[in-house]
């Protein structure tokens, strides 16, 4: 269930991540190609196609999965340690 939730969350937020990366890496000497998130979403979909929003999905999914596992493991160890103290 957690893996499915992670996949759905990654799938829904990947377009935003792609656009934010494009906004942050654009050079100022060329002028701002993207003026905001909505503009970046429209421009990327128009110029590069909607499939661009799915690029990099696998590495991001794996990163989120490992991040979630580490968080749950550390949280479990932390709460177990706190309960032993009390």
Pair of tokens at residue 81: 């340690």
Domain that includes residue 19, residue range = 2-85
pTM for this model (two decimals): 0.68
pLDDT tens readout for residues 19-76? 998 898 887 777 788 888 999 999 999 998 888 888 888 898 999 889 888 888 898 8
Please report the pLDDT score of residue 6 as a whole number: 87
Number of domains observed in the structure of the chain: 1
Q: How far apart are CA 78 and CA 16, in angstroms?
A: 33
Instruction: Report yes or no: 22 and 41 within 8 Å, Cβ to Cβ.
Output: no
Instruction: Report yes or no: 19 and 37 within 8 Å, Cβ to Cβ.
Output: yes
């Amino acid at each position: 269930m957690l893996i499915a939730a992670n996949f759905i969350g990654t799938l829904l937020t990947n377009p935003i991540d792609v656009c934010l990366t494009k906004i942050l890496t654009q050079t100022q000497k060329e002028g701002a190609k993207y003026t905001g998130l909505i503009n970046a979403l429209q421009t990327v979909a128009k110029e590069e196609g909607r499939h661009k929003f799915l690029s990099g999905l696998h590495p991001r999914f794996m990163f989120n999965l490992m991040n979630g596992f580490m968080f749950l493991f550390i949280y479990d160890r932390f709460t177990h340690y706190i309960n032993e103290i009390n």
